[in-house]
Amino acid sequence: MALPHEKERSDSQEFSPVGTWALLCLIAAAMVAAWLFLYFGVFLPRGTVH
Amino acid sequence: MTDSGFKKLVLSHFWVAFGAFGVASVLGLYQVVERSGLIPALQSPKVYFASVSTHGVLMAYVLTTFFVMGFGYLVAVSSLKTPLWNPKLAWVGFGVSAFGTALAAIPLLTGRGSVLYTFYPPLQASALLYIGAALLVIGSWFWCVIMLVMYGQWKKGHPGETVPLPMFANTANAILWLWTSAGVALEVVFQLIPWSLGLMDTVDVGLARTLFAWTLHPIVYFWLIPAYIALYSFVPQAAGGKLFSHELGRVAFIMLLILSLPIGFHHLYMDPQQGKGFKLAHGVGTFLVALPTLITGFTISASLEKAGRQAGGTGLFGWIGTLPWRDPMVLAAILAFGMLIAGGFGGIVNASYAMNAMIHNTAWVPGHFHLIFAGTTVILYMAIAYYVWPSLTGRTLVSRTLPVIQLWTWFIGMTILTTPWHILGLLGQPRRISSVVYNSVLTLAWTPYELAMIVGGAILLGSALLFLYILWKSQTAGAPEANAEIRYAGYEEPETPVPVLLNDFKLWNRIILALMLVNFGYPIAQFFFTKTFGSIGWGY
């Protein structure tokens, strides 16, 4: 008989959080896009300090 | 829950915390109105900076420290299922911290402590502010000792068993706070207090800022860990599910402990007293400390996904809609993640070595830390209060709807407040300024955003007052609930022990010591073997 903790672990392994992976990928993509926009679209066009 | 004396101890901590929060919220609205220049009669830099300093100290030190202590006692007793060790010592700690707070209030409210909550010299306050702040911190060290003793006693009495996750995180926070507060304690005791008492003519500003940087970043995680405890221990339960992985939680708390400490120089990117090599090392560490937050985001989201699917959610994102959005704990977690993602993005920009120059010392920075602290952290403090209130007071919450409204208004107000704040930073508005008395194209462009911030501030104040009303009304007029207990998420004591490294802190403390020596050793030592110049005070 599986011990409680092993059962919990087994349940977790059987469950694949695909929605969470998809959500995190979307958030990561949005953050990268926003960072690139700020760097190339806002920061670099301001040029050097005068 | 245990005896009424223990509940009184925890409630006393919570009410000091939330009382400070209420006062600070009123000041917050005054500040956005003053800064906008909308009401000329309110314009007063002297009052403004006294208010900002009081707001910062109340929110960042009083609310947090008292909340962390009260919640820490509650977590220790309820998760270990053991009485509080040495309640008298806990009351002494409470008294020392409360006395320190009262002492610090005198200069703050009389305009003799307007140095903001960062205490950066050469701005000089009355010695009472520094002594009061030191006592507040010393009082919290009593809490650290009690947490460490309870953790040690439990381990001794349960050889080979796994420390419950909430207490493991709680202990990590006590250790983190001892490491964290040492930096500012050294600054206050050896520099600011003697200097403000006139025992020293000048202060070494570079050393002071370096010591404060030691404290300034990990303190954020000292504030945040109770919120993370709620995410791991309460949210899955409230959503109707179980925690996806206990081990990932332990890894996240250990990483927070180790990685949050040796990275404070991202606050000093523009400071000349530290070399760029050390700044880069701290910068790399700053990006690494995002990892435990990513782990937390994944673990909690997976826990919610499992609960949502059990409730009938299908498809890639259908589980989100089936979550119990009307449960304060679940709602607060979702809203907190929303603000954490936005605030985390701002933090990545802050930490980016080059781009930091664009937003350094601008309004972007308070916009960022309000999202992370007042948004993510405080909204979970509120949800924790709602969650534990019935077991502390023996009474149910007076309404199931009002907490939901309160949390939504806090989220909406914070969004309306911080979005313009970030934009103002990009438009070049410096932080730490009172209203401007000149009109130029530059400053006129700020006006619409400042007006929007007033709307955000007003909504936040309304939400804060509603929060206090719900707690007070529930405590005094809620329906009796005799058997309310604090329930932890799917917490079955593991029969198979977790690895020793995920159940103990000895090795991690040694690693912290090594990292601190590498990242702070030379940067601090240099002030003692190179010639530096002190500054006289710029005081009240």
Instruction: Give the ranges where B312-446 is alpha helix by DSSP (H).
Output: 318-321, 328-351, 356-359, 364-369, 378-393, 402-426, 441-444
- Find the CB nearest A15 among B301, B306, B355: B306
B244 close to A (CB below 8 A): yes
A33 close to B (CB below 8 A): no
Confidence of residue B2 (pLDDT cuts 50, 70, 90): low
One-character DSSP codes across B263-310: TGGGG-TT-TTS-HHHHHHHHHHHHHTHHHHHHHHHHHHHHHHHHHHH
B263-313 pLDDT per residue, tens: 999 999 999 999 999 999 999 999 999 999 999 999 999 999 999 999 999
Residue B4 confidence (pLDDT) above 70: yes
Average pLDDT across chain B, whole number: 94
Residue A27 confidence (pLDDT) above 60: yes
Q: Is B483 exposed, middle or buried (CB count within 10 Å of its CB: 0-12, 13-18, 19+)?
A: exposed
Scan for tokens 């003053």, then name that residue: B34
- Residues B450 and B330: their CA atoms lie apart, in Å, by 32
- Residues B527 and B206: their CA atoms lie apart, in Å, by 8
Considering Cα of B414, then B417, then B418, then B420, what sign does the dihedral take? Answer: positive
Burial B398-409 (b: 16+ CB within 10 A, else e): beeebbbebbeb
Least confident of B250-264, B337-351, B358-372, B434-448: B434-448
Confidence of residue B485 (pLDDT cuts 50, 70, 90): confident
Confidence of residue B482 (pLDDT cuts 50, 70, 90): confident
Return the closest-CA partner of residue B119 out of B211, B34, B47, B198. B211
B222-272 pLDDT per residue, tens: 999 999 999 999 999 999 999 999 899 999 999 999 999 999 999 999 999
- Residues B30 and A18: their CA atoms lie apart, in Å, by 46
Domains along the sequence of chain B with CATH:
4-529 (1.20.210.10)
A2-13 pLDDT per residue, tens: 444 555 555 555
The whole-number pLDDT of residue A9 equals: 54
B524: Cα within 13 Å, side-chain hemisphere: 17
The whole-number pLDDT of residue B495 equals: 54
B174-192 pLDDT per residue, tens: 999 999 999 999 999 999 9
The whole-number pLDDT of residue B531 equals: 87
Residue B449 tokens read as 């955003």
B97-145 pLDDT per residue, tens: 999 999 999 999 999 999 998 889 999 999 999 999 999 999 999 999 9
Are the beta carbons of B345 and A35 separated by less than 8 Å? yes
What 3-state class would DSSP assign to B362? strand
Residue B64 confidence (pLDDT) above 70: yes
Give every CB contact of residue A36 below 8 A, 6+ residues apart in sequence: none
B369 in active site: yes
The whole-number pLDDT of residue A11 equals: 57
Rounded average pLDDT over B480-504: 76
Scan for tokens 């405590």, then name that residue: B475
B472 close to A (CB below 8 A): no
Residue B487 confidence (pLDDT) above 90: no
Confidence of residue B438 (pLDDT cuts 50, 70, 90): confident
- Find the CB nearest A19 among B317, B341, B354: B317
The single residue of B13, B112, B209, B217 carrying the catalytic annotation is B217
The whole-number pLDDT of residue B492 equals: 44
- Residues B6 and B90: their CA atoms lie apart, in Å, by 10
Q: Report cis status (omega within 30 of 0) of the bond before B262.
A: no
B282 in active site: no
Q: Is B54 exposed, middle or buried (CB count within 10 Å of its CB: 0-12, 13-18, 19+)?
A: buried
Rounded average pLDDT over B380-402: 96
- CA angle (A26, B355, B207) in 5-degree steps: 120
Residue B321 confidence (pLDDT) above 80: yes
Closest A-chain CA to B351: A35
| Residue that wins the pLDDT comparison between A48 and B133 | B133
- Residues B304 and B331: their CA atoms lie apart, in Å, by 11
Residue B491 confidence (pLDDT) above 80: no
Residue B1 confidence (pLDDT) above 60: no
Q: Is A40 exposed, middle or buried (CB count within 10 Å of its CB: 0-12, 13-18, 19+)?
A: exposed
Burial B329-362 (b: 16+ CB within 10 A, else e): bbbbbbbbbbbbbbbbbbbbbbbbeebbebbbeb
Which one-letter amino acid corresponds to residue B327?
D
B217 in active site: yes
B370 in active site: yes
Residue B539's beta-bridge partner residues? B124
B492 close to A (CB below 8 A): yes
The whole-number pLDDT of residue B483 equals: 76
CB–CB of B119/B205 below 8 Å? Answer: no
Scan for tokens 């925890």, then name that residue: B10
Confidence of residue B497 (pLDDT cuts 50, 70, 90): confident
Rounded percentage of chain B residues whose pLDDT exceeds 70:
98
Q: What is the 3-state secondary structure (H, E, C) of A9-40?
A: HHHHHHCCCHHHHHHHHHHHHHHHHHHHHHHH
| pTM assigned to the model | 0.95
Return the closest-CA partner of residue B363 out of B32, B12, B27. B32
Rounded percentage of chain B residues whose pLDDT exceeds 90:
89
